[in-house]
Amino acid sequence: MPLALNLDAIAKLPHAPVSDVKKVGCMTAVARSGKLVVTHHNAPDAVMLSIADYDTIVQALRDAAMPREAMLDALRQRFDERLAVVQTDDAGGRLRTLLRQPAKLGGEARVAARH
């Protein structure tokens, strides 16, 4: 299950000089946008994150570190669940019934252009 990290490029994040980090305004900026780039001599030096963003990043890193075998096991399980559906006694009959029914186009018919 992929996680959406919603991480912006450094240039798009709010910036603050390191001297301002000690001031209350920085925490307000982090609370407002969830992240803040701290600069030193106008160059990015650090990033302050909300706890929610930090937790999302940590979880994504944990998921990325998941052993390959565990990922393959999860994939095998999903495949086996899907395969079980077509291996039931009535699967052939259900498929034949489905194929005999007229197609439901939802009111739209499209014709492909021939070249």
In the predicted structure, residue 2 carries a pLDDT above the cut 60: no
How is residue 87 annotated by DSSP?
T
4 pLDDT band (50/70/90 cuts)?
A: low
pLDDT score, position 24: 64
pLDDT value of residue 78: 94
Report pLDDT digits (tens) over 93-113. 888 888 888 877 777 666 766
Q: What one-character DSSP code corresponds to residue 22?
A: T
User: Long-range contact list for 46-50, CB < 8 A, 24+ apart?
Assistant: 46/18, 47/10, 47/13, 48/21
CB neighbours of 101 closer than 8 A, spacing ≥ 6?
none
- Mean pLDDT in residue range 37-66: 84
Can you name the CATH fold of 1-65? YefM-like fold (3.40.1620)
Which amino acid makes up residue 89?
D
Average pLDDT of the chain? Answer: 80
Residue 69 pLDDT > 60: yes
The identity of residue 21, as a single letter, is V
pLDDT at 81 over 90: yes
Greatest extent of the chain over all pairs of C-alpha atoms, in Å:
73
Domain boundaries defined on the chain? 1-65, 67-100
Higher pLDDT, 1 or 24: 24
